[in-house]
A and B are shown apart, each in its own frame.
Chain A
Amino acid sequence: MPTIQFGHHQVHYELAGPPGKPVITFLNGLTQNANLWKSYAEYFVPRGYRVLAYDMLGQGRSSKPVIDIKLSMHADMLDNLLGQLKIEKTHLASISFGGIIGLDFAIRYGHRLHSLTAMSTFAELTPQLDLLGAVMLQGLAEAGLPYLQSMLYPMNMSSTWIAANRERIPAMKRAGYIGNDGYAMQNLMESFVEFKPLTPDLHKIKVPTLIMNGEFDFFTPRECHEVIRSKIANSRLLIIQHAYHAFTLEMPAVTMRQLEVFLDQVAAGTWQGDQSVWIAAEDPAAETQWLPCAGDWRRAVQIGVPVTAPPAPTRRKAPSRKKTT
């Protein structure tokens, strides 16, 4: 895997596809690595793109600093990586932890972007996320990396996926345990101590922005994505049906198709960033991919018109029993 030098750190990356084509850069979630975007490269390269994925500092085969990584450093590093690879502009697709880096990058380095896709992410720590982050960190520090891994599967994936992959999960956890370092993950999580909400600066993002949220994502729920949608004028929000937090892993075919639709619109100049909300088709082969969203998209239940109940039938009073002696 090729490497660049960033200060005294090494950054491993994968760049697939021929030079001269538009680049899509993928940003990992906290426990992910560049390898997880391989199927995305296989999908997008034949469709005329180059695909760049890399291990962020603290992940996979990149340097894993112990002492300090400032959150803002990740966006600076991406700028440096693109510079070293002579990529002037890129489409940026980012998920979860990477989603925050993507938003930060779009705010500060927007001139390097064609478009932004922010998936399962947040611009500020809601009280719920704040406590969830704290409990994850506590679990990592006190019970260790295997505990955190065990915690993340049910948080990220659906019951359907877990049921179908139950036998594979121990092997996946083992691979994750070998590839990740608890201290490096802890360092990434602790960088949130100095996290300042990105919300006040979201309006600076001018590039076409697609926000994607799993229908049942309870880790970064709708309220997180509503903040992003409401502050980025050139955005649309797309809900992935029946999806949880890690839908890029659980539903790659659906995710790739949605990204493709978005990128096609951007390339064709037909993209309309109007802050509207859509629902992704479940079938990637369906003719219409984005379906309109009816009702209040932030609610989990849709309240209909009250039905007037028919008058209750009058009951005849039962005859009282007479006590017999």
Chain B
Amino acid sequence: MIDPALYDQARERISASGFTPEIQTKITLLLCTAKNGNLMFHSGVQWMQNLNVVQQFILSQYSRELEAVTLLSRTTQWSKDPALALEGSRIVAPLMLAWGQIMMPPGPMMNPQAAYRGISLGHAQLARIRLLPVIPENADPLNPFVVALQRIEQENGRMLQTQIRLLKNIGTEIPIEEREALVEQDQELVDGVFSEFLAWLAAL
């Protein structure tokens, strides 16, 4: 579980300074990394054989992740500070590494373990990266960036249903305990990244 104090500190920081270009850039760097990883995975598995109805959900999630990335990129007031990009890359590196491992040849389309891991990591990202609690009460509800964050988070909850159904019902030979362990491992990975990100968000 992510320490609630981290959310509070990040929110206090935003409450004091507003959604500055620096804050917006930090948030977008994190979200876009997570969503680009999931996008890459979905582009790799959406034409897998025998997906049947699941294919619709995977195609749909691919499109909605793409929309989220576009929406964020359009609404973000970017900071030009290259140090932010460097530090942001360091913080999200474990996510990029994990997605890289999943996509490593032969890729998830040919590797059931990697396919399951991709679903599990996607689940962890959609479930655990939550930014609504850092939006302060004094934030302008019509600020395009705030509106984008709210829409993305609501959409994350809907998209998560695909991962939930797949994790529960996918035909796999991986034993249930091993699957649960995989899911917990990915949650810990995402929690670690997100905790560090929240601390970074709160920093001056």
Contacts and interface: CB of A to CB of B under 8 A. Distances in A.
Given A68-B168, A178-B7, A183 B123 contact: yes
Nearest to A141: B161
B157 A60 contact: no
Scoring B123, B157, B164, B179 by chain A CB atoms within 10 A of each residue's CB, the highest score goes to B157
Contacts of A187: 164
B10 to A, nearest CB: 11
Contacts, number: 62
A183 B133 contact: no
A183 B164 contact: yes
A150 B201 CA distance: 28
A67 B183 contact: yes
A64 B164 CA distance: 13
Given A8-B177, A182-B127, A177 B132 contact: yes
Given A178-B7, A183-B127, A186-B164, A66 B180 contact: yes
Nearest to B156: A144
Contacts of B180: 8, 65-67
A63 B164 CA distance: 16
Nearest to A62: B1
Nearest to A146: B132
A271 B2 CA distance: 45
A203 B49 CA distance: 53
A242 interface: no
B184 interface: yes
A66 B130 contact: no
Contacts of B133: 174, 177-178
A179 interface: yes
B157 A145 contact: yes
Contacts of A179: 1, 4
Nearest to B170: A67
A174 B132 CA distance: 8
B176 interface: yes
B160 A183 contact: yes
B16 interface: no
A67 B7 contact: no
Interface residues of A, number: 27
B1 A68 contact: no
Contacts of B187: 64
Scoring A143, A170, A183 by chain B CB atoms within 10 A of each residue's CB, the highest score goes to A183
A178 B176 CA distance: 27
Nearest to A144: B157
B167 interface: yes
A139 to B, nearest CB: 11
A207 B79 CA distance: 66
Nearest to B132: A177
A181 B127 contact: yes
Contacts of B2: 178
B152 to A, nearest CB: 12
Nearest to A170: B137
A296 interface: no
Interface of B: 1-2, 4, 7, 123, 127-128, 130, 132-133, 137, 153-154, 157-158, 160-161, 164, 167-168, 176-177, 179-181, 183-184, 187
Interface of A: 7-8, 60-61, 63-68, 141-146, 170, 174-175, 177-179, 181-183, 186-187
27 contacts: A8-B181, A8-B184, A60-B1, A61-B1, A63-B184, A65-B180, A66-B123, A66-B168, A66-B180, A66-B183, A67-B167, A67-B168, A67-B180, A144-B157, A144-B158, A145-B157, A170-B137, A174-B132, A177-B132, A178-B2, A178-B4, A178-B7, A178-B130, A181-B127, A181-B128, A183-B127, A186-B164
